[in-house]
A = this chain, B = another copy of it.
Amino acid sequence: MSESAWRPVRRTRTFEDVLAQIERRIAEDGLTAGDRLPPERTLAEQLGVSRSSVREAMRVLETLGVVSSQVGRGPDAGAVLVSKPDSALTDLLRLHLGLAALEPGEVIDTRLMIECWSAARAAAGRPDTSALERALRGMDGARTPEEFVEHDTAFHCALAEASGNRLIAAFMRSLRDSMRRYAVEAVIRLGDTSGLQADHRRILAAVRGGDQEEARRAVTDHLARAYPPDAH
């Protein structure tokens, strides 16, 4: 018998079975966001497991942004399928950053990748730019770094949404959320935000003008200003 022919038997825990069955039901019945899952007690009885196991499966699904549980009684109570990957991604990034398993530089790089892509895509599509303009005005009126960063986040997320790709937009939102602290530090370090605002207007102009390459360059220059490579 050859060595390493034995792979470790992956014991499957009860709640993993429950998860698999729920996922199968989603696929087979074509369930989608807004549909409801049976109550925990019912599910436990139907699957022949304890309510604890069902609850642990629910917790996993909730963590992944796939179900949302409401207590009480009525049409809105119980577990309903949703599709909110944002908080799941945010939690994931935040925790792994906290574990020092990811460097801030890696996250900033990823953000640069996403923003370049989004800006180019947005420029190609001539999207609605009202959200971008609103965020610009918000940054103009900001009185504290925190307030500025809030509208800055709105600007960059709006850029990602303008790309039309929901996965990329969700990833962008999560990156911003998990990096809020660094963003505030960067603004404080810079002191003056007029340069950032000039960058933002340049990005907006490129998107409006449909110039993909200029949009890429504008975003790259902007992030280089906000996060100079020697700052992390």
Contacts and interface: CB of A to CB of B under 8 A. Distances in A.
A98 B26 CA distance: 7
25 contacts: A26-B95, A32-B99, A32-B101, A52-B52, A55-B56, A59-B59, A60-B60, A63-B64, A64-B88, A64-B95, A65-B96, A66-B95, A66-B99, A81-B99, A85-B92, A85-B96, A88-B92, A101-B166, A106-B167, A107-B167, A109-B165, A113-B114, A113-B117, A113-B168, A117-B117
A207 to B, nearest CB: 17
A23 interface: yes
A89 interface: yes
A27 interface: yes
B96 A83 contact: yes
Interface string A91-122: 11101101111100011011001100100000
Interface string A129-170: 000000000000000000000000000000000000111100
Contacts of A100: 30, 32
A31 interface: yes
Interface of A: 15, 23, 26-27, 30-33, 52, 55-56, 59-61, 63-66, 81, 83, 85, 88-89, 91-93, 95-96, 98-102, 106-107, 109-110, 113-114, 117, 165-168, 171
A128 to B, nearest CB: 19
Contact of A106 (B33, B66, B96, B166): B166
A165 B106 contact: yes
Contacts of A109: 165, 167-168
Given A63-B64, A64-B63, A92-B89, A101 B83 contact: yes
- In the complex, which of the residues A61, A106, A166, A167 has the most CB atoms of chain B within 10 Å of its own CB atom? A167
B91 A64 contact: yes
Contacts of A92: 64-65, 85, 88-89, 92
Nearest to A81: B99
A16 to B, nearest CB: 10
Contacts of A30: 100
A179 to B, nearest CB: 12
Given A56-B55, A101-B83, A96 B66 contact: yes
